[in-house]
Amino acid sequence: MPQTTPLARRPNPYIRLFRTPGARAFTLGNLVARLPMGMFSVSAVIMIAGARGSYALAGAVTATGLAATALVAPWTARLVDRHGQARIALPATAVAVCGSLVLLLCVHFGAPDWTLFAAYAATATTPNTGGMSRARWAHLHRDDPAALHTANSLEQAADELCFMLGPVAAAFLCSALFPEAGTLVGTVLLMTGMLLFTAQRATEPPAAPRTPAAKSPLRARGFAPLLAVFLATGVVFGSLEVVTIAYADGLGHPSAAGGVLALQAAGSCVAGLLYGTVRPARDMSGRLVGCVGAMTVLMCLPLLTARTGGSLAALAAALLCAGAATAPTMVTGMTLVQRRTPEGQLNEGMTLAVTAILGGIAVGSATGGQVIEQAGADMGYLVPVCAAAVALVVSVAGSGRYAAPPRR
C-alpha cells in the first residue's frame, strides 16, 4: 500500500524541505553568492558615472556585460552539467571576480574607456547560481513533485529577495563608504558564497558527460514556447522598472522609485512563498496559463492607477498587487523547464530560461523608454500589459506541447 508523502502531511512544507540533509548548508552558501547579482549593475553604474561623469558610458558598459552574459552563460552551464558544479563554477567565478576587480581598478586609476568594456565583459563567466541551486533540489527530490514545487517556490522568493535588497545595499555602500565599495563587497560575497556552496559535495548532482547523441535543450519538445513565455515576462520586468522610475520622476519624487519597485518585488517574494505551500497541479501547462492570465490582469492595475493620475502611494499599492502573480508564473515556468530539459542538461536548460528573461528585460527597458518619450510615463505602463498578454497567448498556444511526458 503506498504511503502518503511526509511533505503532504505537514502544515509547513518548508520545514520538511530544510530537513533534507545538506539543504541548509548549500542554500546559505547560494544566497550569499546570489545577493551580489542584484548589486553589480547598480554598483557599476554609480562607480563609472561618478568617476567619468557619464551615465551613457555607464549604461553602455553594463549593457555590454549583459550581452556577453547572454552569449557565455549557456556555455558555462553546459560545462557545469558535463563536469560538475564544483569543478566548473569555482574557476568561472574566479574569472568573473577578477573581471570586477579589474573594472574597479580601471575606473579608479582612469584607464581608457575601452578597458571598462573589456573588464565588465569578463564577468559574463559568472555561473547561474540560482540555476545550480534549483538543479540540486531537482536532484534531491526528483521523485517528489510536491517537495520540488516547494523548492522552486523558495528559489523564486530568494531571487526576488536578492534583487530587492541588492540594489539597496549597492547604493548604500557606494554612497556611505566610497564609489567602489559596492563592487568590492559584491565580489567578496560572490566568491565566499560560491566557496561555501560548492563545498557541499554531498548534495551536488552527478556530472553527466555529453554523448554524441545529446541534443540542445532548445530542440526538446515544448522548450522553445517556454522560452518565448520567459522572454515576454522579461519584457514585463524591464518595462516596469523604466516606466516606474519615469513616473516617480514626473511626480517630483525620483528617489522614491527604488522603494516603489521594492514593493513590487516584495509582493512577488511573499506570493512565491505562499505558492510553495499550494499542492502542485497535475496539469502544469494549465497552471502556467492560469498564472500568466492572472499576471496579465494584475498588470492592468498600475496602468489604471497611472492613467487616472494616481499618487505614488497608490502606484506602490498597485505594483504590490501586480507582483503577486509574477512569482507563481516563474515557479510554474521553471518547473516545466525542468521537465522539458533532457536528462543531464538541467543547468543549461535553466540558464537558457534566465537568458531569455534577461533578453526580455533589455527589450522591455528599450521599449518602455521609447513609449515614455512618445506618449508619457502613464502610457508606458501599457508595455508590461501588452507583454503579459503576449506571454498569455504563447502559453495557451504552447500548452499542448508542454503536456508531453516529462523528461526521464
* Beta carbons within 10 angstroms of residue 22's beta carbon: 14
The answer to whether the beta carbons of residues 136 and 205 sit under 8 Å apart is: yes
- The residue segments making up the domain with residue 68 are 23-151+160-203
Highest mean pLDDT among 191-205, 232-246, 249-263: 191-205
Distance CA 36, CA 38 (A): 5
Residues 79 and 195 in one domain: yes
**Mean per-residue pLDDT of the chain:** 81
Residues 379 and 313 in one domain: yes
Residues 243-267, mean pLDDT to the nearest whole number: 76
Number of domains forming the structure of the chain: 2
The answer to whether the beta carbons of residues 402 and 336 sit under 8 Å apart is: yes
What local confidence, expressed as pLDDT, does residue 187 receive?
Answer: 93
In a domain, 283, yes or no: yes
Residue 24, pLDDT > 90, answer no
Q: Which has the minimum average pLDDT: 78-92, 196-210, 329-343, 392-406? A: 392-406
Distance CA 83, CA 345 (A): 11
Start-end of H helices in 310-345: 312-322, 326-340
For residues 95-105, one letter each, b for 16 or more C-beta atoms within 10 angstroms of the residue's C-beta and e for the rest, the string is ebbebbbbbbe
Residues 33 and 117 in one domain: yes
- Give the tens place of pLDDT for each residue, 271-282: 878 877 777 767
Model-level pTM? 0.78
Amino acid type, 157 = A
Residues 93 and 128 in one domain: yes
Cα-trace Rg, the chain: 21
What local confidence, expressed as pLDDT, does residue 55 receive?
Answer: 67
What local confidence, expressed as pLDDT, does residue 297 receive?
Answer: 92
In a domain, 97, yes or no: yes
Distance CA 32, CA 20 (A): 20
CATH assignment at residue 196: 1.20.1250.20
- Give the tens place of pLDDT for each residue, 334-374: 888 877 777 777 777 778 888 888 888 878 877 887 788 78
What local confidence, expressed as pLDDT, does residue 388 receive?
Answer: 92
Distance CA 301, CA 318 (A): 5
